[in-house]
């Protein structure tokens, strides 16, 4: 599982345990999450905002009515931004105000305004925790779907022993990691191809394209989040792929084909996102061609088509291809869907104002008789939406895994 790119809104309220939230931020950021800290005024009595700012690399939000900050990202936008809202530590006062549905400061307002899962880790004196008032508030919050992490038992800062301690940051990190994740692809082995390939001309030169591999890496992350085992077969890329994926680095189309075929036997889903070079020099040389040789033409031959090769196999995984197009996206994608015998084709526009490296893009997901438009959005968000789309297509019924294991696709589904 991965926390990469997860947007965590971390509320910190007035408790001596606020110092542990610093370590929690460090762990989340280390795992690649984006963390926005929101402190209650009481929390600032325990830990300085600067500590959280240094650890999260973002300004801490504290006030509901800060016009300057609200202009940049309003509290409603912030509530929408979050993939999860976590309050750790949550004081007795915070629990009571949330249970009442108050919205008189930034944190409580965000909790009302968000549709993301909310997790609360209370920390307080044992008597306060055991007080029927606090227990009633906890009960009310749990009833409403809030996940409450039970406080740990032990010696407290006030000298008492009992429940009330904030659990270890490492434990809280694990709770957040598992949060709201639909592990619908548990037990599935997915192969993702990503990035460009390079086809050598001589030891110094090659043919390639502008692919960055970002979409492929985002897809690998989204599949991992859904519980799949992921093999990422990638060409030369600059971004570090997720360490949770089984990564295989290749250079040429021929190597990508070889590695994909080798691993496709026990695979139920192939997402072919790589921008495989279509042509390669017929006779790459071992020695560098000198300028003085005045080579004016380069003889090329087609590279093997990885997706089409898989599409021809009698027993094949569910196949998802990508089509980078400058025009007629749907038609071109559908033509490729049929020609390569794949189940879904995802078209994206390239051209003078749209490139491989764009941070935001739009996708058209095409099957034999329908098209679904996703975006415009970031590649990470689109990757998650696309994986949800694929998951739903794999099995409209509940058990995706059973479906996939039973039906490595033996016929043309398009
Ligand atoms: N693909 C592949 N092997 C190739 C070329 C493409 O597996 N040698 C896969 C890509 O990973 C992608 C899909 O085929 O999933 C479509 O790639 P694209 O480059 O858009 O299409 P081409 O078949 O190369 O056609 P054209 O370049 O003419 O649009």
- Domain harbouring 196, CATH code: 3.40.50.10300
Ligand 1, atom 27: nearest CA belongs to which residue? 278
- Average pLDDT (271-288) is 96
Assess whether 226 and 364 both reside in one domain.
yes
Q: Is 164 exposed, middle or buried (0-12, 13-18, 19+ CB in 10 A)?
A: buried
Check pocket membership of 324 for ligand 1, CB cut-off 6 A.
Answer: yes
Residue 233 CA to ligand 1 center (angstroms) comes to 15
Assess whether 25 and 89 both reside in one domain.
yes
Quick check: is 1 in a domain? no
Check pocket membership of 276 for ligand 1, CB cut-off 6 A.
Answer: yes
Write out pLDDT tens, residues 243-262.
789 999 999 999 999 999 99
**Which residue in 362, 364, 285 sits closest to 331, CA to CA?**
364
pLDDT at 408: 52
Helical (H) or strand (E) element with 339 = helix 329-340
**Which residues have C-beta within 8 Å of that of residue 69, sequence separation ≥ 6?**
59, 61, 63
Check pocket membership of 272 for ligand 1, CB cut-off 6 A.
Answer: yes
Assess whether 349 and 263 both reside in one domain.
yes
**267 counts as catalytic:** no
The pTM (predicted TM-score) of the whole model is 0.68
Assess whether 121 and 269 both reside in one domain.
no
DSSP 3-state of 207: strand
Assess whether 114 and 212 both reside in one domain.
no
Assess whether 248 and 329 both reside in one domain.
yes
Assess whether 234 and 276 both reside in one domain.
yes
Tally of CA atoms within 13 A in the half-sphere of 253 that contains its CB? 22
For residue 38, the cross-strand partners are 11, 61
Give the whole-number percent of the chain exceeding pLDDT 70: 92
pLDDT at 71: 81
For residue 90, the cross-strand partners are 122
pLDDT at 293: 83
Assess whether 307 and 371 both reside in one domain.
yes
Residue 309 CA to ligand 1 center (angstroms) comes to 11
Write out pLDDT tens, residues 34-62.
999 999 999 999 999 999 999 999 999 99
Q: Give exposure, 84-123, as e/b (b: 16+ Cβ within 10 Å).
A: bbbbbbbbbbbbebbbeeebebbbbbbbebbebbbbbbbb
Assess whether 322 and 218 both reside in one domain.
yes
Quick check: is 380 in a domain? yes
DSSP structure class, residue 227: T
Assess whether 137 and 235 both reside in one domain.
no
Domain boundary among 159, 178, 197: 178
- The ligand 1 atom at the shortest distance from the C-alpha of residue 345 is 15
Cα distance between residue 47 and residue 89, in whole Å = 12
Domain extent, residue 265, equals 189-410
Quick check: is 119 in a domain? yes
Specify the number of domains making up the chain: 2
Quick check: is 2 in a domain? no
pLDDT at 263: 95
Assess whether 86 and 233 both reside in one domain.
no
Residue 4 CA to ligand 1 center (angstroms) comes to 28
Check pocket membership of 274 for ligand 1, CB cut-off 6 A.
Answer: yes
């Amino acid at each position: 599982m991965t926390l990469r790119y997860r947007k965590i809104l971390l509320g910190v309220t007035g408790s001596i345990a606020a110092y542990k939230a610093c370590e929690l931020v460090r762990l989340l950021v280390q795992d690649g999450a984006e963390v926005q800290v929101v402190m209650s005024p009481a929390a600032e009595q325990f830990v300085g905002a600067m500590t959280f700012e240094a650890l999260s690399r973002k300004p801490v939000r504290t006030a509901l009515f800060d016009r300057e900050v609200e202009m940049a990202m309003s509290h409603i936008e912030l509530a929408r931004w979050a993939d999860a809202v976590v309050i750790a530590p949550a004081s007795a006062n915070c629990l009571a105000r949330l249970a009442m549905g108050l919205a008189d400061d930034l944190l409580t307002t965000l909790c009302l305004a968000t549709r993301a899962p909310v997790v609360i880790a209370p920390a307080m004196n044992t008597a306060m925790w055991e007080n029927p008032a606090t227990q009633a508030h906890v009960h009310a919050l749990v009833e409403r779907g809030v996940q409450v992490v039970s406080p740990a038992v032990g010696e407290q800062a006030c000298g008492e022993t009992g429940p009330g301690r904030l659990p270890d940051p490492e434990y809280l990190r694990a709770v957040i990691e598992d949060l709201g994740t639909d592990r619908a692809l548990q037990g599935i082995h997915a192969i993702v191809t990503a990035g460009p390939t390079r086809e050598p001309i001589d030891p110094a030169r090659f043919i390639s394209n502008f692919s960055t591999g970002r979409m492929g890496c985002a897809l690998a992350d989204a599949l991992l989040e859904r519980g799949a085992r992921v093999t990422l077969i990638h060409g030369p890329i600059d971004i570090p792929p997720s360490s949770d994926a089984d990564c295989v680095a290749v250079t040429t189309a021929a190597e990508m084909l070889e590695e994909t075929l080798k691993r496709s036997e026990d695979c139920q889903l192939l997402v072919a996102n790589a921008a495989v070079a279509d042509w390669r020099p017929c006779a790459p040389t071992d020695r560098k061609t000198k300028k003085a040789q005045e080579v004016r033409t380069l003889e090329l031959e087609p590279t093997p088509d990885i997706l089409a090769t898989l599409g021809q196999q009698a027993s094949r995984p569910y196949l998802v291809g990508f089509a980078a197009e400058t025009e007629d996206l749907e038609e071109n994608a559908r033509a490729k869907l049929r020609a390569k015998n794949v189940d879904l084709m995802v078209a994206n526009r390239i051209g003078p104002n749209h490139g491989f490296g764009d941070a935001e893009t739009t996708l058209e997901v095409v099957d034999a008789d329908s098209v679904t438009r996703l975006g415009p959005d970031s590649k990470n968000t689109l990757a998650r939406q696309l994986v949800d789309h694929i998951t739903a297509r794999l099995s409209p019924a509940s058990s995706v895994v059973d479906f996939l294991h039973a039906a490595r696709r033996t016929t043309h589904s398009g």
